[in-house]
Amino acid sequence: MKTASLKIFALASLALAILMMSGCAESVSVIAEAAQASEAPTDAPVLPDAPEAEEEILQSAEKGYEFSHNGASVALGGLASDFIASAGEPDKVFEAPSCAFVGVDKILYYPGFTVNTFPIDGVDYILAVVFTDDRVTTPEGIYLGKTRSDVETAYGEPSLEEENGSTYNKGGMSLRFVFEEDVAVGLKYYYDDSNEHSI
Amino acid sequence: MRFVSYEFLLLLAVALVLYYTACRKCQWQLLLAASAVFYARSGALHLLFITATVASTFLASMAMAKRERKRERRLPFALCLVFNIGILAFFKYSPLAFPLGLSFYTLQTMGYLIDCYRARPGVKPALSNPFKLALFTSFFPQLTQGPISRFGELKDTLYARHELKADDFTEGLLRVALGLFKKLVIAERLMPLLGIQGGFAGWCVSSLLYAVTIYCDFTGGLDIAIGVARMFGIRLSENFDRPFYAKSVSEYWRRWHMTMGSWFRDYIFYPMSLWKPVLRLSKVKALGKRAPVWVATTVTWLATGLWHGATWNFVLWGLLNGLVILVSQELTPFYKKFGKKYPKLSESKVFSAFRVVRTFLLVAAIRSLDLLTLASGKKGLLSLPVSALIVLVAAVLLLVIGEHRMRKLQNPAARMGASLSLFLLTLVFGAYGAGYDVASFIYTRF
Amino acid sequence: MRSSFLLILGFVLCFAAAQRLLEPKYMTETVDGALTAEYYQDAGSNEVLFVGDCEVYENFSPVELYREHGVTSTIRGGAQQLIWHSYYLLEEALKHETPKFVVFNVLAMKYGEPQSEPYNRLNLDGMRLSISKLKAVSASATKGEDKISYILPLLRYHDRWSKLSLADFKYFIQPREKVGHNGYMMRSDTVPVDVVPIEEKLPNYDLAEQCWEYLDKIRDICAQKNIKLVLVKAPTIYPFWHEQWDEQIAQYAQANGLSYFNMLKLADDIGIDWDTDTYDGGLHMNVQGAEKCARWIGAKLKEMESLSDFRLDPEVNEIWQRKISDYERMKATQLDELAEFGKIQTLTYRESEQ
């Protein structure tokens, strides 16, 4: 290659390298935002997993399916005391102490449904809501005794379909139906299916 | 694969045993294999990029070796340089997963390329064995966070045959123990607290915390890197020389991340300041004689900032460092006059202490720009339980008083004793295991 | 060389001491955690080995089984002991003794996956290092667990340095007290059944494939050693033991020539009084209920196979008389505490000396 061409080529390569290294200055802020938003490693120090992870789960559950009783909304992951304060005291309470550890799971019985709670540091949080009979209805108009097609009309395609069940996931929580001969016999709101974890 | 992991420990143990027993005649090859395993565990796809770097550098160096005249070496040199810097730039700005150690091995390999281009003594002739170049590029102790080695300094020790010596082994073990202590007892405990606290006082505390964290994390990682290499009988360059004792920002950067500083100095600052178009600027009256220094310093620190990160805060951080250094240089005549006028004061220990503290605060303030990328309102130091605070204070004191003394131990038995004591302290008081997620070293993100 | 050896030895000793100090003692809180390690003190010549979770170690009294029937037994049980825990604990136990019966509680069949790290710890930390332990750890570990910390517990419990209590120092120096009476954890208090939970419907009652595999392994290992395997479902009202699960176990038992007793359904036969025989509203038996269960199961086992009456063996009887004495002493202590404080405080004891 001739000297002049070589110089031009080298200068052009260098210009390209500088361009790439400096980036587009005006888009640095956009890139910075993207770098922060992306899951790829950024240049910021990597922090350990936040110990508040459990709180994050609890908070995100509020955006899922909702159920309310006597005007009191049941917030999965929310404080049981808040619900009791709004909805009133349960008819009865079943307590199930954890195997080995300190902590008591509870089932609060209300007319037509139960609220299952679990303790964190001695404070009860709502784990699940289970319908026990047809005295209560979901905001979407479903109650025990409705058919499978009624459920699909109200909620659409399930996230998980089984022979005798359908589960809908939304906002970090789930709504599960159990069917016998295509009739809903079980209904449960929950965000963690391992509610038998303590026994 | 992380340095602080059981699998790294296993890799190291197996490699050491084989190195000094079955593979005594193929030691460097074993190190290459271990490095490949280390790197592959971090993502097989990333092997592609490091291989591309090694291959392109090897081909370019071979092409340059055949060309006597520097002018003829320019094309292969430029092509290889653009290719590899291009890869680095691409990943700096891309949201894709950043290949492990890319920043470090790119600098290190480009240093080798530049040395081949310049035909520096010790580098000519270039390596004829691509696998040796692969080992230089990927040597696993230094791959993820340095030190950034020069080929001329490393080649004799890296490829030589090493016998097991108590001196090397125990000194290496002590460095590893120190590194783990700094990382797990101090840095990991402080990491969750990093972030800008409200108010001036909060900012001061955050900056100080960050300075201590990054020192312990970075030097801890380097201690492990240097220590592991030493256990194989290989001496890597030191990267820190008690930086918090520096009396000026210039001196600080001659004591902190020394191999990075010298790389940018030798491969950007000096060529830039001696480049004719830049030299001609000194003849422009409006700019002054020091214009070339200003330009070279600015470009060097801009490059340093960009190397650290693609976000504006790193660019600003780099430029601020450069500015402070330049201003300090411009004020040198005034410092000299001050020294002449008040000789006793300027030579006193009090004044030295003032300069050390001033430099520490200045550097911590500039470094706090890193914190702006983190969420604000993180828990403060006082959110830690009293027991953790006591451990932190005790650990920092142990470092301040003991690190230098431990590094100076000559007796292998004394080093062994110090190492085992540090291991035990780390095992008990380290922030690792259940409930912790030992973060990668900060500098492995580069 | 010599100094290196001494230094390394010193390190090992300090490591061991730190580990002994920092690992949980299970003497004041979560005493169930002590049961796995205690097994080795009672192992040797038992004719019956009970295996399972808290439905076993709180519902069967080996002391009463001996007192009523002369049958020697022990319990290899732990808190939420999952079926793979049970299998490997059984496998290890059978290296120490060969009973005539293994009685396995089937509640664990409902857990198809590892549940939580704390329960893994409670069940496996007390196991001596062995191939069985390594296999158990491998089968049980939840995501993110460091398996090596089951071999070197200091790696898991090092953080307890900031939570050390007097009990940690006390039991660092002296041997631990006992929690179980041949694996039975005694509760003398009474909380009658008040609310019986309503059964929750499930979309799928299939028990996990992994659980069936481990049940097969338990059956096989018993068959290899000529041990009769008996399946039971302990009499507890919660967690739910669905009818569909019960049928599957009954079918399995029939297909494999095993006996299966759903003791919840047989509560009347056993003589369980839900007002007096439970300490937590029906989840577990108290000592009265556990003794009833022991007497009942003992009678059933004797119908299946002739068992020795060790009450007639002077040597064995002497040992068991001490066990009975310790048992009754604890019972009396707990009852006194209930009368005075309204709650039980004593869950551990020192064995009578020979």
From chain C, pick out residues whose CB is under 8 angstroms from the CB of A164: 203-204
From chain C, pick out residues whose CB is under 8 angstroms from the CB of B424: 11, 14-15, 18
pTM score of the predicted model: 0.83
Q: Residue B446: what pLDDT? A: 59
Note whether A28 contacts B315, CB cutoff 8 Å: yes
Which range is least confidently modeled, A32-36, B65-69, B98-102? A32-36
Residue pLDDT, tens place only, C317-343:
999 999 999 999 999 999 999 999 999
The rounded distance, in Å, linking the Cα atoms of B443 and B2 is: 12
Q: How many domains does chain B have?
A: 2
Residue pLDDT, tens place only, C233-272:
999 999 899 999 999 999 999 999 999 999 999 999 999 9
Q: Token pair 């131990």 is at which residue?
A: B409
B309: nearest CA in chain A? A43
Q: How confident is the model at residue B377 (pLDDT cuts 50, 70, 90)?
A: low
Mean pLDDT computed over A39-62: 32
> Which chains pack against C, by 3+ Cβ pairs within 8 A?
A, B
Q: How many domains does chain C have?
A: 1
Same domain, B96 and B238: no
Q: Residue A103: what pLDDT? A: 72
Which range is least confidently modeled, A47-56, A77-86, C32-41, C240-249? A47-56
Q: Please report, for the domain that includes residue C123, its CATH number.
A: 3.40.50.1110
Note whether C3 contacts B416, CB cutoff 8 Å: yes
Is C245 an interface residue toward A (CB < 8 Å)? Answer: no
Q: Residue A122: what pLDDT? A: 82
**Edge-to-edge order in the sheet of strand C101-105:** C73-77, C48-52, C101-105, C228-233, C259-262
Residues B113, B121: contact at Cβ < 8 Å? no
Note whether A23 contacts B96, CB cutoff 8 Å: no
DSSP state of C148: G
The rounded distance, in Å, linking the Cα atoms of B229 and B239 is: 14
Q: Which of B194, B303, B370 sits opposite A47 (nearest CB)?
A: B194
Q: Is the pLDDT of residue B55 over 80?
A: yes
Q: Residue A47: what pLDDT? A: 27
Note whether B434 contacts C18, CB cutoff 8 Å: no
Q: Residue A39: what pLDDT? A: 25
Per-residue tokens: B256: 């902190």
Interface with C, mutate which of A54, A99, A115 (most C CBs under 10 A): A99
Q: Which of A100, A107, A166 sits opposite C79 (nearest CB)?
A: A100
Q: Is the pLDDT of residue B348 over 50?
A: yes
Same domain, B217 and B334: yes
Mean pLDDT computed over B421-433: 93
The answer to the question of residue C131 being in a domain is yes
From chain B, pick out residues whose CB is under 8 angstroms from the CB of A51: 192, 435
Note whether C161 contacts B387, CB cutoff 8 Å: yes
Q: For C132, left (φ over 0), alpha (ψ -120 to 50), or beta? A: alpha
C19: nearest CA in chain B? B428
Residue pLDDT, tens place only, B251-294:
998 899 999 999 999 999 998 888 888 888 888 777 778 888 88
Residue pLDDT, tens place only, B193-211:
777 666 777 777 788 888 8
Is A72 an interface residue toward C (CB < 8 Å)? Answer: no
The rounded distance, in Å, linking the Cα atoms of C302 and C70 is: 11
Which residues in B344-379 are b (16+ Cβ under 10 Å) and which e?
Answer: eeeeeeebeeeebeebbebbbbbbbbbbbbbeeebe
Choice between A16 and B126, residue whose per-residue pLDDT is larger? B126
From chain C, pick out residues whose CB is under 8 angstroms from the CB of A175: none
* CB-neighbour burial class of residue B2 (10 A; exposed 0-12, middle 13-18, buried 19+): middle
| Radius of gyration of chain A from its Cα atoms, rounded to whole angstroms | 27
Same domain, B177 and B115: no
The answer to the question of residue B241 being in a domain is yes
Note whether C162 contacts B387, CB cutoff 8 Å: yes
Note whether A43 contacts B314, CB cutoff 8 Å: yes
Q: What is the mean pLDDT of chain C?
A: 94
Q: Which of B216, B233, B217 is nearest to B173 (CA)?
A: B233
From chain B, pick out residues whose CB is under 8 angstroms from the CB of C146: 6, 433-434
Q: Residue A170: what pLDDT? A: 86
Mean pLDDT computed over B292-317: 86
Q: Residue B141: what pLDDT? A: 93
For residue C11, how many other CB atoms are within 10 A of its CB? 17
The answer to the question of residue C19 being in a domain is no
Residues A191, A64: contact at Cβ < 8 Å? yes
Instruction: Work out how many CB contacts closer than 8 A connect B with C.
Output: 49
Is A106 an interface residue toward C (CB < 8 Å)? Answer: no
Cβ contacts of residue C259 below 8 Å, gap of 6+? C228, C230, C231, C253, C300, C304
Which CATH architecture is the domain A64-190 placed in?
3-Layer(aba) Sandwich (3.40)
Q: For C163, left (φ over 0), alpha (ψ -120 to 50), or beta? A: alpha
From chain B, pick out residues whose CB is under 8 angstroms from the CB of A22: 302, 306
Residues C71, C303: contact at Cβ < 8 Å? no
Note whether B434 contacts C7, CB cutoff 8 Å: no
For residue A192, how many other CB atoms are within 10 A of its CB? 16
Q: What is the mean pLDDT of chain B?
A: 87
Residue pLDDT, tens place only, C154-175:
999 999 998 899 999 999 999 9
From chain A, pick out residues whose CB is under 8 angstroms from the CB of B82: 13-14, 16-17
C146: nearest CA in chain B? B433
Domain boundaries, given as residue ranges, for chain A: 64-190
Same domain, B69 and B106: yes
Q: Residue B373: what pLDDT? A: 63
The answer to the question of residue B1 being in a domain is no
Q: Token pair 């004044």 is at which residue?
A: B351
B294: containing domain: 167-445
The answer to the question of residue C122 being in a domain is yes
DSSP string, A142-174: --BTBBHHHHHHHH-S-SEEETTEEEEEETTEE
Instruction: Report chain B residues touching chain C, CB-CB < 8 A.
Output: 6, 385, 387-388, 412-413, 416-417, 420, 423-424, 427-430, 433-435
The answer to the question of residue B411 being in a domain is yes
Note whether B416 contacts C4, CB cutoff 8 Å: yes
Note whether C7 contacts B417, CB cutoff 8 Å: yes
The answer to the question of residue C335 being in a domain is no
The rounded distance, in Å, linking the Cα atoms of C106 and C236 is: 12
Mean pLDDT computed over B90-102: 86
